[in-house]
Amino acid sequence: MKTYRNIVVLTGAGLSAESGLATFRDKDGVWSKYDYREVATPEGFARNPALVHEFYNMRRRDLKSVAPNAAHLALARLEREHEGSVLIVTQNVDNLHEAAGSHNLIHMHGELLKVYCRHCRAGQSWSEDLSTDLACPACGHKGGMRPDIVWFGEMPYQMEEIADALADADLFISVGTSGNVYPAAGFVAEARNHGAHTVELNLEPSEGASYFHETIHGPATSVVPEYVARILKR
């Protein structure tokens, strides 16, 4: 059986679902309750910053009561025990990969626990609520502090590093993502074109399931630890 050297794992909201954080597009998901144009676009923030702050304040507060699940822990174990490289590229803005012990991690859609000022761009860690009358600690401007979240219409982070890692990967694993949002949804094709074996681990077949060489369906807390154990046994 083939052994792998460079592994890239793309993760999405389904990975954190069993920790108690809502996904976006499932029944009762975040986008069934909120219009993404109002809370996840620069235009929505310009129209109603208080609403956007309320939305992300709620999600930031949720992080105080959740813990990594068996799937996050298995991916951290993969990074620790695999002899080659393991890079996690997450679309999730929670901090559960870090809490599980993953280090080689890219938050391509930003982080709930970071904010920046849209006037001076100074960024910082932030675990409390944001409000419209808050002054930026760096430049003193009021009203410009925003969550460090990549909104629709904005460029995801570290795309060059991700492209390099996908080109070098010989195994690409996608976990808990519906494959609806580009550029992440295109990573499987990119990795596959460069010769990687591609695997989908998801509750159900995603939009892009047919692009994968291998698909395993079930809850992340069972399919991810099982798949990681398989890789580490090789």
Query: Which CB atom, from 134 or from 149, has the smaller least distance to ligand OAD?
Result: 149
Total residues in contact with ligand OAD, by rule CB under 6 A:
25
Q: Which listed residue (72, 82, 109, 119) is catalytic?
A: 109
Sheet holding 6-11, edge to edge: 105-107, 85-90, 6-11, 171-175, 197-202, 214-217
Query: Which CB atom, from 114 or from 141, has the smaller least distance to ligand OAD?
Result: 114
Catalytic, 82? Answer no
By the rule CB under 6 A, 204 interacts with ligand OAD: yes
Work out how close the CB of 90 gets to ligand OAD at its nearest, in angstroms, rounded to a whole number.
Answer: 8
Q: Where are the alpha helices (DSSP H) in the chain?
A: 13-17, 30-33, 36-39, 42-47, 49-62, 70-81, 96-100, 159-168, 187-193, 220-233
Q: How far apart are CA 103 and CA 154, in angstroms?
A: 25
Work out how close the CB of 145 gets to ligand OAD at its nearest, in angstroms, rounded to a whole number.
Answer: 19
Which amino acid is located at 120 in the chain?
Answer: C
Q: How far apart are CA 74 and CA 27, in angstroms?
A: 27
Which window, 7-15, 72-80, 126-134, 160-168, contacts ligand OAD (CB under 6 A)? Answer: 7-15
Q: How far apart are CA 2 and CA 32, in angstroms?
A: 42
List the x/- string, 143-162, binding to ligand OAD by CB under 6 A.
-------x------------
- Which residues form the interface with ligand OAD (CB under 6 A)? 12-14, 17-18, 23-26, 29, 40, 91, 109, 150, 176-178, 180-181, 202-204, 206, 219-220
Residues annotated as catalytic (active site), given as ranges: 109
